[in-house]
Every structure is written in C-alpha cells, then in structure tokens.
Structure 1
Amino acid sequence: MKIAFCYPGQGVQQVGMAEGFVRADEHYADMIAEATKASGVDMNKLLFEPNDDINITEYTQPALVTACCIITDALLIAGYRPEVTAGLSLGEYCSLYVAGAMSFEDAVRLTRIRGKLMSSEVPAGEGTMAAVIGLDAETIGNVIKDIDGCWCANFNCPGQIVITGKKEAVLEAMPKLTKAGAKKVVELNVSGPFHSPLLKGAGEKLAKELENVELSDLKIPYLANVSGAQVTDKSQIKDLLKQQVFSPVKWEQTLYELEKMGVDTIIEVGPGKTIAGFVRKTVPSIRVIGVSTPEDVESLAEKLG
C-alpha cells in the first residue's frame, strides 16, 4: 500500500472543523493557541463559534490550514505516515507541513498574509472566476484566447476547468463557452480573480514574506500546484509558492503523477469530499478515504484493510 495525504483548498471550510480533536486532547488545544498567536486571529472563535468571517479569504485560509494540520497531527500520532503529499491551492501549505518543510506556525502565519494579499490586490467586484463543466482544456483555451483578461485557473479533473480574470472578461467568456459545448458554466462565489496574472503583485509581496521563513529539508516529496510534479529540494519551495498565487493549479496533472508514483490510497485530510470527486474522474483506480473527525481516525485501520 502506498499512501498519499492530500489536502483540499478554499471552499470546504465550515464552523466546527477539527473541534472534536481540540475538545478531546490538550495537544490540539495548544495548536489552536499557537495558531491564534501566529495569525493574530482568535482561532477558537473563528473555528468553533457561529460567524461569517470564516468565509472571508484572509480568515478562511489560516482557519482551514489550522484545522487540517490538527487532523494531520492526529493521523501522525496514530501512526499513519504518507509516502508523498499534495494540496489543492491553499492545501499546498498543509502538504508542506506534513512533509516537514514548513512549521505549523509559519503555515498559519503565511496563509493569513496570503489571504490578505490575494483579497487586496484586485478591488472587490473587479475580478471573478467560473467553473466550466464538460469541455477540454484545448477548446476552452481557443474560446478565451482572444478575450483580454481571461485565463484558465484550475485544471481540476477531466471535464472540469475553472477560468479566472477580470469580471467583464469572464462574463463575456461564459456564454461563448456554453456555445462551444460546455454542459454548464457557473460563476463562483469568490472575492477575486485567483490564480490569474492579475495577482502577480500579491505573489511578489508574498515572496518578500517568504524570505524571512526558514524551511527544513523535505522528509517526503510533495507535488507542487504550479508544475504537478514532485519536489524534493527545499530550495525550490519559495519560488513555487510565489508563482502559485498567480499561476494555474495543475491538479489533474498532480493526480496523474500520484498514480504514476504507485499511490493506491489517498487520505483526504480535512472537511468535504472535493479531492475524492476529482480522483474519481481522473484516476479512479486510487481509493480515497476522508478523515475529518476523531472517529474517522479511529476507523481508518479497518478501512485501510
């Protein structure tokens, strides 16, 4: 059995995530306190009390990373070890944590900064994103190539690609993509044109923050969003994280690479079933087991067989 830990991106967050771990064990309560200090956000309040902030990018990002790293620790303490790891967009920071390259404190602190930078780079309402269902990348590329300010953002799985860019450009592209044969084109409820060249400035500012971060050698490979390829050299990480802010997420390619590496089991760490859905449509021979609660950790051995 070859196991990969994979982490979801923004959109799966929910109040109450990782709460069972925190209420049961002081170690995870200490992680909440550390995350509060690192992010400057009351993480207990954000994660466990009803609020709207959890869906605001600058808060969503450190909150989801905190929850996923807590669940990761629970898995590691229970004796589960991945041989490779990957994370979807924001989830890349969690994958760097489990790979041993980035500390928990830095992952939380950087994702708060990343969220702020991504939100502020383009004024609210000027950018957007849309999911395109049922068209291949080449067809989408041909449709949007002459639309100034519209790009592909996420190659999630066969038949699901997300476009990004200036709001008027994305809205212009949507009916053209439908006419080109898309089954569905849906504007996403996001605050900006993420993973587009419009966020290059945010990436450059993040790079300056990364200069002050000390990374450790990777204990296991991780797969980078920018390339969909394995990374084993820590010297590449900072530039990849900078580029990730304004470059397409090659998740479909990432899944094919995991298959090529011989991964037969993915543990989806965190809330939701986003990763499972993409795996089913891309590399269905790989099984996915979701872990988001203490009960999931307890039943994992039985599920792994």
Structure 2
Amino acid sequence: MKALVFPGQGSQYVGMGKDLYEARKDIKDLMDSANGILGFDILSIMFDGTSEDLQKTQVTQPAIFIHSVAAVKATYTLGAGMVAGHSLGEFSALVANGVLSFEDGLKLVSARAKAMQEACDANPSSMAAILGLPDETVEKICNEIEGIVVPANYNCPGQLVISGETEAVQKACEAMKTAGAKRALLLPVNGAFHSPLMEPARKKLAEAIDNTQFRKGTLPVYQNITTTAVTDAEEIKQNLIAQLTGPVKWTQTIQNMIKDGAHRFVEVGPGKTLQGLIKKIDPSVETSSAI
C-alpha cells in the first residue's frame, strides 16, 4: 500500500513551488489564491525572496503548506491508502484526504504560525537535536532537569529533538553528552515547539479550529499525537490542537503505518527529510518524492 507523507518546518527553500506554478494553470490559480487568503504576497517570497525572509515562522509554515498541496494536485496520488504529516505537515495531509479545503487549511496554518511566533516571542526558549541515545534515556534526563524541557520530535531511532526553556535545554544537552549522546545540538529556532510553552498558541489555534469545517476523511490520517489511524472529524480536531503542546511521535507513526500495510512512502512537498527518517525507521520500505 502507498502512503503519502507531508513535511514540516525546515524543509523550505528559495524557489520552492515555482516549477509547479509555471507548469499548469490550475495549480497557478490555486497558488495565486494564497496571496488573497493571507493578505500578503507569499509567492514572491517563496519564488524570489531571501532565505532569511523564508525562515520567518509566519512565512515558512504557509509556504510549505502551499507547496505541499500544489504537489498533491500536480502528481498522481491515486492508490494511496493512508496519509500522515510531520507537525505542520498534518495540515497538508488533511487537505490531501479531504478533511479540509485548501482555503480553510491555509487560514489555519497562518493562524497557527502567528500564534506560535507570539508564544516564542513571549518566552526565551529553544530546541535541540539529540543523536545517539535511546528514547528512554532522553526522556529520563528531561524529567531530571530543573525547568521546562521535554521530548518534542521522535524523528527516528537515535534522533530525538527536545524543546523547552533555553536554560533547561542547555542543561539537558550537557547531561545528554555525559550520558553518551553522539551529539546534542541547539537548533537555530527561537521557540519551544511541541512543549508546554506553546500553551498560549494552543488556545488560539483551538478557537480557530472550532470555527472551521472539518469533514470525515476519505483516507485515514495517522496523527502525531495518537500515531494511529483516524478519520473522525472531531477526533482529528482534538489531535491537531493537542499537537502544539505535545510531541511529534514520527517514529511510532511510521511503525504503525507499516504494521497496517504501508510499504511505499511518497513524500509530498519540499525536500527529502522524511524519506531519510523513514529509511532509518525501517530500511525495508520504499521511499520516493512526489515531484
């Protein structure tokens, strides 16, 4: 069975989506509508902006979403039996399986990005990638550190991102190295995504989601919080809201998709990050890019 997977923040690059935009009028029309929905010219930033402009959360998240949905429209995705997205990518997945319209999805992504940026600005916080330790060791060290620091992204075996207050993350990194981590790297982000520090953003996103129409999924979506197949609209809503302050359990999600019959994963959107992670989770499966 084929599964579609959608990337999250960090997969953006200058020029993203320009080839899709120029290839087909229906995709051009779809992407052009984004400027009106957002109220600024995001396509100019995507196509011809600077890396610095594209790295701003309020630009990055809508840009990746637009690119991912355009890629779904441009490629042959029939035969897919399930979808999943990494963090932000969950919104792209929900458009792909009919739960959200492109317009509603983009509005939610924009609201989410703004709320997350505000939460980041309100608290000095950061994230770090921990390489070469078992998940249980990382979890134990986070629990022992004074202050807020939690596992945020279970990306693949031996690669876990932690998130929290800057000082607590720094202390955790030192403890991880002492425990034998190959690397403990602070990431170039100014916020603690998928941690309790995102609570103000969670509340704002919850309000936006409550005012948006969600339909029953045509394909099951494997969500970051539950890691299991979901089609019920209300359940999908609650999981999306919980995702902002809870961890992205990508390793467990992919394992469950494989257990349920997925043997080919097609990454839909910019970059190839997810393909690399999936190969580390299970080298026996097939991975490819949609475009």
Q: Which runs of 5+ in 2 are unaligned?
A: none
- Does the 8 Å CA contact 2:42/2:59 hold for their aligned counterparts? no
Task: Indicate the larger mover: 78-87 or 272-281.
Answer: 78-87
- Does the 8 Å CA contact 2:99/2:233 hold for their aligned counterparts? yes
Instruction: Return the alpha-carbon distance in structure 1 between the equivalents of residues 213 and 119 of structure 2.
Output: 26
Q: Which residue of 2 aligns with 1:110?
A: 108
Q: CA RMSD in A?
A: 1.2
Instruction: Return the alpha-carbon distance in structure 2 between the equivalents of residues 262 and 194 of structure 1.
Output: 31
Task: Indicate the larger mover: 283-292 or 225-234.
Answer: 283-292
Q: Which residue of 1 aligns with 2:159?
A: 160
- Secondary structure of the structure 2 residue equivalent to 1:168: helix
Q: Which residue of 2 aligns with 1:123?
A: 121
- Does the 8 Å CA contact 1:126/1:166 hold for their aligned counterparts? yes
Deviation at 1:124, TM superposition (A): 6.4
Instruction: Return the alpha-carbon distance in structure 2 between the equivalents of residues 140 and 25 of structure 1.
Output: 47
Deviation at 1:173, TM superposition (A): 0.8
- Does the 8 Å CA contact 2:120/2:190 hold for their aligned counterparts? no
Q: Which residue of 2 aligns with 1:272?
A: 271
- Secondary structure of the structure 2 residue equivalent to 1:9: coil
Letter in 1 for 2:78: Y
Q: Which runs of 5+ in 1 are unaligned?
A: 293-305
- Change over 3 Å in CA distance of 1:79–1:237 after alignment to 2: closer
TM-score normalised over the length of structure 2: 0.96
Deviation at 1:191, TM superposition (A): 2.1
Deviation at 1:165, TM superposition (A): 0.1
- Change over 3 Å in CA distance of 1:86–1:146 after alignment to 2: same
Does 2:91 match 1:93?
A: yes
Q: Which residue of 2 aligns with 1:55?
A: 55
Q: Which residue of 2 aligns with 1:202?
A: 201
Q: Which residue of 2 aligns with 1:302?
A: none
Q: Which residue of 2 aligns with 1:297?
A: none
TM-score normalised over the length of structure 1: 0.92
Q: Which residue of 2 aligns with 1:300?
A: none
- Change over 3 Å in CA distance of 1:79–1:232 after alignment to 2: closer
Deviation at 1:125, TM superposition (A): 6.8
Instruction: Return the alpha-carbon distance in structure 1 between the equivalents of residues 42 and 285 of structure 2.
Output: 34
Q: Which residue of 2 aligns with 1:295?
A: none
- Does the 8 Å CA contact 1:124/1:191 hold for their aligned counterparts? no
User: Sequence identity of aligned pairs in percent?
Assistant: 37
Deviation at 1:79, TM superposition (A): 5.7
- Does the 8 Å CA contact 1:65/1:93 hold for their aligned counterparts? yes
Does 2:229 match 1:230?
A: yes
Q: Which residue of 2 aligns with 1:13?
A: 12
- Secondary structure of the structure 2 residue equivalent to 1:198: helix
Task: Indicate the larger mover: 282-291 or 153-162.
Answer: 282-291
- Secondary structure of the structure 2 residue equivalent to 1:164: strand
Instruction: Return the alpha-carbon distance in structure 1 between the equivalents of residues 167 and 131 of structure 2.
Output: 20
